[in-house]
Structure 1
């Protein structure tokens, strides 16, 4: 299995397959590159070089107790892209990975990025404040912290329900999908799982969005219970220069089922456009 030793000594696991224009996939919290298994095959079959990494502290990468913040995530991604000498990159990020992708493209890409795609992404900022009165109250994130610290073994099972919309009437969400969410979440080190809550909720990426000078497709399900569309995608599209907003009716935060098939096709169409 390929690993990259980052500049601070962290071992980053990654998958790299195929040839052609590179698509780099950034996963959400508290998952791993395994969340992109379908996309790794679909995009590879479509003729692209597909790369996905386990963010520091997640999956098979080092379980770091430091650097669990959006800026470090983006700088680590830059090291991976430079290590593989990738150019004309399409960087795709889900949830927290969307924040990682946007920060990377805006600040660290050095001309290597051609396009950006986000899905259910956290920018511009989630937490409620005087400057963001429509955001989610800090108490919600404090409760998540308490659950992760004290009862994560059960909490990951519970979080899978709203994550994939399994708590909606008529939802078609398999037990296997929820079990895999638990499996990936349990692979995330506790410091990373805990610290990333602040990273995904309190990092203001308004200036990152404004700084993007490449096309971005902002995808979001309108029944996202984790990152509400009105507080994220609908605000982000107003801040970017070259943006396309794709709204998926009834889609959850987690990427699965019909939403996943349509999103993957839309990403391929966006790359070719």
Structure 2
């Protein structure tokens, strides 16, 4: 098992992040969603490596086989952990790809650390720019929605995650975009997260305002979002991104759910490869 030590927690314990590092060439760093691990990127890891990229994916603190401290489940700390990954591996000319809550890491890193070492960023089904409805963010989601998530996790985390997985992939009576085996795999991956981290991170990704962070991004930016995302609706997230990153390319996958990295894996892989190579993803995607 590979681990990177990113720093210390409030009690002075080293924080170790489980990670994978495949291939050579231009580095691509993949940042997973809630409450999964880097293993959610299975199909992207293979596809990007085969295209000659060096692909690094890590599991954030509190999840999977990474350290599970009781504190530090906030985006300043997550961004500092990402910085430690880039620094310890001495990565340059990096493309960051953040999925769902991982998009928040990308945004906060770019704002907090001035985009050091990074040449491109991609947001996939991301929680950016700001999910929570507030007086100055009327397009956001009511706090009650997130309160109910926490209540469900506190009542029966395993049952809640089982239902969440179906909504995550858009599984319904007439829609089965992934297999039952994939649902079981996802459930097992999410169950090993620390319960406290699972809950605190809900508060982090739902309540953190990334709008100022996004305003600092000057590098090429790709935004991909599923048109039928029931967890992070595109009208609240992906469709709003170009307000804060005017040069960003926004690509909507019509009919795709939140967890599009499996049911839309071929298209996502092609678009990420095109983007890292410096191509025009919007025109490429229009052909599919």
Q: TM-score, normalised by structure 2?
A: 0.92
Q: CA deviation at 1:153?
A: 1.3
Q: Residue 123 of structure 1 corresponds to which residue in structure 2? A: 128
1:82 aligns with 2:87: yes
**Which stretch has the larger CA shift, 165-174 or 124-133?**
165-174
Q: CA deviation at 1:234?
A: 1.1
Q: CA deviation at 1:109?
A: 5.3
Q: Residue 7 of structure 1 corresponds to which residue in structure 2? A: 7
8 A contact 2:37–2:189 mirrored in 1? yes
Give the alignment's Cα RMSD to 1 decimal: 1.2
Q: CA deviation at 1:154?
A: 0.8
1:240 aligns with 2:239: no
Which of 263, 271, 277 aligns to 1:266? It is 271
Q: Residue 181 of structure 2 corresponds to which residue in structure 1? A: 176
**Which stretch has the larger CA shift, 204-213 or 237-246?**
237-246
- Secondary structure of the equivalent of 1:231? coil
1:189 aligns with 2:197: no
Which of 223, 232, 236 aligns to 1:231? It is 236
Q: CA deviation at 1:80?
A: 0.7
Provide Cα deviations, 1:193-233, integer angstroms capped at 9, x if missing partner. 00001111000000011110111100000100010000001
Provide Cα deviations, 1:58-95, integer angstroms capped at 9, x if missing partner. 11101121111111111101001100000000000000
In structure 1, how many angstroms separate the alpha carbons of the residues matched to 2:193 and 2:243?
34
Q: Residue 50 of structure 1 corresponds to which residue in structure 2? A: 55
1:141 aligns with 2:146: yes
- Secondary structure of the equivalent of 2:65? coil
Taking a change above 3 Å as real, the CA distance of residues 253 and 168 of structure 1, as seen in their structure-2 partners, is farther
Q: Residue 157 of structure 1 corresponds to which residue in structure 2? A: 162
In structure 2, how many angstroms separate the alpha carbons of the residues matched to 1:49 and 1:238?
32
In structure 2, how many angstroms separate the alpha carbons of the residues matched to 1:143 and 1:257?
27
8 A contact 1:212–1:241 mirrored in 2? no
In structure 1, how many angstroms separate the alpha carbons of the residues matched to 2:219 and 2:146?
32
8 A contact 2:224–2:253 mirrored in 1? yes
Over 3 Å off, 4+ runs: none
Aligned pairs (5 A) from 1:58-69:
58-69=63-74
1:207 aligns with 2:212: yes
1:35 aligns with 2:57: no
8 A contact 2:226–2:260 mirrored in 1? no
In structure 2, how many angstroms separate the alpha carbons of the residues matched to 1:64 and 1:13?
14
Q: TM-score, normalised by structure 1?
A: 0.97
- Secondary structure of the equivalent of 1:51? strand
In structure 2, how many angstroms separate the alpha carbons of the residues matched to 1:228 and 1:144?
16
**Which stretch has the larger CA shift, 126-135 or 71-80?**
126-135
In structure 1, how many angstroms separate the alpha carbons of the residues matched to 2:27 and 2:49?
10
Equivalent pairs counted in the alignment come to: 273
Q: CA deviation at 1:256?
A: 4.1
8 A contact 2:32–2:102 mirrored in 1? yes
8 A contact 1:13–1:61 mirrored in 2? yes
